[in-house]
Amino acid sequence: MLVRSSSTIIIYSLVLPIVQALSTTSSNIMSTSSVALRSVKQILPAAPRHWVGDGFHVHPVFSNKAFTEELSPFLMFDYAAPQQFKPNKGSPRGVGQHPHRGFETVTIAFKGEVEHADSVGNRDVIKPGDVQWMTAGRGIIHQEFHSNEFSKKGGEFEMCQLWINLPKKNKMTKPHYQPIVDKKIPVVDLKGASVDGECSEETVGEVRVIAGSFLGTKGPATTFSPVELWDATIQKKGTVVDLPFPDDFNCIIFVRRGEIDVISESGDPKRVGAQGVALMKREGGSIRIQSAQKNTSLLIMGGLPLNEPIAARGPFVMNTWDEINKANKDYMMGKFGK
């Protein structure tokens, strides 16, 4: 986030029009040399994979940081790295019916297809580039499988699922479903920067804005608390980019593909490898990244911390253990998905 100091505003009438003209230049060309850079708080290496059902071989990306206020409002992150599946003549692989309450699931398909069905009547196929944003709220039962078409043909499969906490006041909201197709997700050109923070005209990658906003472009997802979720690609090795990020938000950088160096004010780079995570300090208004490989792909996420108690057990995330027990009872009594 860029903040212009009042001391830099020139009030002389002859110069003011020039200042106004400069302020209207393209929002994609930005200097962050005067904005403090965030530094890395902790790097989480890639976690060992495990199977969720028989269709999703995932890295538990947040590892032991999952369900902590340190990541709020994000809770959990499963990433299924690219994997080849043979054609399947039997039942599609995946996870059968299971309940959720108190949070949202966000599923992003990169390769392959995921078929979703739930207890409130939603049914959809999430194709490459698509995002499914499901608000469990007061309770929903859903299932997730490889689509019938993908199962028959086989192929490479890659996806991820994020869990995002709901504020206490919204935990019992009515279940809701946002199908966000690839063509509805805006793409912003990513400009290169120097180590001094001066941006160039050269386009070095792109940012797909799923939620929140990037350089004034808003993502299509509707959220219950302020959230940023960007799918970024840097094309060339050795490219430096600056990404303005709200300074009061938690910030998490996941390296989906490639390697990066995160550069702080001190200039000391911190290397993050494939499937690794950089948890950023909540100090500074910009992230400076240098790609260490070509075609580096990142998921950059974060949000305003909820600062509320987290009680999590299995498929339920509430604020107290009494509420967790109530969720179990309500599910057993058939009160979900209504």
140-146 β-sheet, strand order: 94-100, 140-146, 114-118, 123-126
Output the DSSP codes for 232-281: EEE-STT-EEEEE--TTSEEEEEEEES-EEEE-TT--EEEE-TT-EEEEP
Strand partners, 109: 159
Cα dist from 246 to 49, 228, 232, whole Å? 32, 9, 17
Residue 247 tokens read as 């300074």
CA separation for the pair 172, 330 (Å, rounded): 12
Whether 100 has a binding-site annotation, put simply, is yes
Q: How many alpha carbons fall within 13 Å on the CB side of residue 64?
A: 3
**Enclosing H/E stretch for 38:** none
Q: Is the peptide bond before 73 cis (omega within 30 degrees of 0)?
A: yes
CA separation for the pair 189, 238 (Å, rounded): 18
Whether 142 has a binding-site annotation, put simply, is yes
Please answer whether residues 262 and 253 qualify as being in contact, where contact means their C-beta atoms are separated by less than 8 angstroms. yes
Q: How many alpha carbons fall within 13 Å on the CB side of residue 77?
A: 29
- ∠ CA 254-271-29, nearest 5°, is 70
Whether 57 has a binding-site annotation, put simply, is no
Residue 290 tokens read as 């240098």
Cα dist from 328 to 61, 75, 183, 309, 325, whole Å? 27, 20, 39, 19, 5
Whether 50 has a binding-site annotation, put simply, is no
End-to-end CA distance of the chain: 41
* Positions at the binding site for Fe cation: 98, 100, 142, 144
* Positions at the binding site: 98, 100, 142, 144
